[in-house]
Chain A
């Protein structure tokens, strides 16, 4: 119950922000932060709970973005339909990739997901209709009624997506699915031997995780009015999606949220004030620091602090 009240408060606060703030850049930056909340939460479903490192965030994100863009180019379908298609396509990719690779041990799975990303990128570079390597210019439609600007609308859409994905992750974490996934992470052999349907659970996690990443990507073409393979399938998304849960803590649904909000807000600031390179360096240093010194992340640090008192 507490969670839902909290979620409602956050949603109300974000809507109020959209109504009151009239500073376009705020929504531009806020959208990115929320997008990384979705990506990190989605990553954590497979990476945090089941312990399978997915470097392939850009593949799912990019497929979602391209599904939306191509659908829009072909039929001028509304955003809701674009998002739905993105979820289905990225979910299918998750299922397919999972079927092919989830029998693999840790690092092999991780490398296989990089492979999926590069192959997806190559496919879209070579697909003329979707713009090929040069990309596709898209004309934004008018925003829907209560919104006066399209960016604000996308901000709210991403906010709702973020809340939904956190709710899904929290549900999975607390249900038997989450227990099963944790059993997989701790010892796959032991889980299998005690009757946990490990492959089916991993496939489920991979599909849900992929679909959510696709949804995170779906509004991107409209956000930029443009789509192009090199930046859409960029490793940056993988870096953010991995670093945020590691920094926030992978065991609890709140971890990726805290990590993503902190990390991408910090990134927004550093990119604007210093440089993009410093920003990536910062992420690398933070990632290594937390992985080495605070393996349970910020959530773990807080827990330890509370226990000590």
Chain B
């Protein structure tokens, strides 16, 4: 390949940090699409919306971006529940011909509206936030320096992943969400209301995407169209993971992060090929192993 070993090592290290971040931004989609089967192509747009909300809150109250993201979770939780309720009433319940096609078109339209709404409200300029850890870097070994912001995002990603995994496996509601994904009619027979559980789960998925959004704006500047870069990444991670698998999401995020950062430093590929990495990965998985790494 012609890449010096130390450069490769650095790329892998950076890829791991990037991968943790990718896993975290895909968590919400892993729940909403992976477990609930909702074709939520607006997920990256909602996340970018979260970035802008973080931007506004940080600007107004001078909070730390992560604290701001956390403070916004209840709002996004309610927003998510409302979106799912609407989606359910209009598409899932009525069902019928083409409900699937229209559901996808619906979320596509929502993504467009969010994207353009952000352009109209904030313009196309890049936005960023200030925090003590942004702009600093930590020295690791002799000459490898890692930006603090990436490290912080990685840390938040790990915490978020662990919290969500524990929630899904230990709590009553978490298990109920998994049960809905596995066998909805059975759940209905047990006397539980699958729609309420799904609504709750979609709320959680949306709440995690505002945290993802605040990480996004920590990692780098954000502009309204950035969601398009994340459609490929998030769906690649979720599909590679095997729909709805949390451990799989982490593994898939790492695979994507490392592949991207190696392609980035590769002498004959470089930055112009990086956006295609996630999509090529996605097509390969869909062709070779559609159930993903940890598929059900």
A residues contacting B by CB (< 8 A) are 47, 51, 53, 55, 100-101, 104, 106-108, 110-112, 114-116, 118-119, 121-122, 125-126, 133, 185-186, 235, 239, 242-243, 246, 250, 277-278, 280-281, 283-285, 287-288, 291-292, 295
Contact = CB atoms under 8 A, between A and B. Distances in A.
B290 A104 contact: yes
21 contacts: A47-B101, A101-B287, A107-B33, A111-B239, A115-B279, A121-B276, A122-B272, A122-B275, A126-B272, A185-B97, A235-B228, A242-B105, A246-B105, A250-B98, A250-B101, A277-B120, A280-B116, A284-B109, A287-B105, A288-B109, A288-B110
B116 A284 contact: yes
Q: Is the interface of A mostly helix, strand, loop or mixed?
A: helix
Contacts of A119: 276, 279-280, 283
A114 B279 contact: yes
Interface string B73-96: 000000000000000001000000
A288 B42 CA distance: 12
Contacts, number: 118
Contacts of B231: 111, 114
A280 B119 CA distance: 11
A47 to B, nearest CB: 7
Given A281-B113, A287-B112, A110 B276 contact: no
A292 B282 contact: no
Contact of B286 (A112, A133, A278, A285): A112
Interface in B94-147: 97-98, 100-102, 104-106, 108-110, 112-113, 115-117, 119-120
A281 B116 contact: yes
Contact of A287 (B98, B109, B276): B109
Given A112-B283, A118-B275, A122-B273, A186 B97 contact: yes
A292 B106 CA distance: 8
A216 B283 CA distance: 26
A209 B90 CA distance: 29
B109 A291 contact: yes
A115 B232 contact: yes
Contacts of B105: 53, 242-243, 246, 287, 291
Contacts of A280: 112, 115-116
B235 interface: yes
Q: Is the interface of B mostly helix, strand, loop or mixed?
A: helix
Contact of A295 (B33, B98, B104, B282): B98
A247 B106 CA distance: 12
Given A108-B290, A119-B276, A285 B120 contact: no
Interface of B: 33, 39, 41, 90, 97-98, 100-102, 104-106, 108-110, 112-113, 115-117, 119-120, 228, 231-232, 235, 239, 272-273, 275-276, 279-280, 282-283, 286-287, 290
Contacts of B33: 107
Contacts of B112: 239, 280-281, 283-284, 287
Tell me which of B104, B115, B287, B290 has the highest count of chain A C-beta atoms within 10 A of its own C-beta: B104
Tell me which of B104, B105, B280 has the highest count of chain A C-beta atoms within 10 A of its own C-beta: B105
B286 to A, nearest CB: 6
Given A133-B272, A291-B106, A111 B290 contact: no
Contacts of A104: 286, 290
Given A108-B286, A246-B102, A280-B112, 13 more contacts: A101-B287, A112-B283, A115-B280, A115-B283, A116-B283, A122-B273, A235-B228, A242-B105, A250-B98, A284-B110, A284-B116, A285-B113, A288-B109
A122 B276 contact: yes
A186 B39 CA distance: 18
Contacts of A107: 33, 39, 41, 100, 104
* Shortest beta-carbon contacts, A-B, top 7: A284-B112, A115-B279, A287-B109, A288-B109, A122-B276, A107-B39, A284-B113
A281 B120 CA distance: 9
Given A246-B105, A291-B109, A112 B282 contact: yes
A281 B117 contact: yes
A106 B283 contact: no
Contacts of B39: 106-107, 110
Tell me which of A104, A125, A288 has the highest count of chain B C-beta atoms within 10 A of its own C-beta: A288
Contacts of A235: 228
Contact of A101 (B98, B113, B286): B286
Nearest to A292: B90
A118 B115 CA distance: 19
A133 B275 CA distance: 14
A118 B279 contact: yes
Nearest to B38: A107
B94 to A, nearest CB: 8
A51 B232 contact: no
A128 B191 CA distance: 63
A20 B228 CA distance: 44
Contacts of B110: 284, 288
A246 B108 CA distance: 12
Contacts of A101: 283, 286-287
A106 B104 contact: yes
Given A112-B282, A118-B232, A51 B276 contact: no
Contacts of B102: 246, 291, 295
A281 B113 CA distance: 6
Nearest to B283: A115
B98 A51 contact: yes
A133 to B, nearest CB: 7
A277 B119 contact: yes
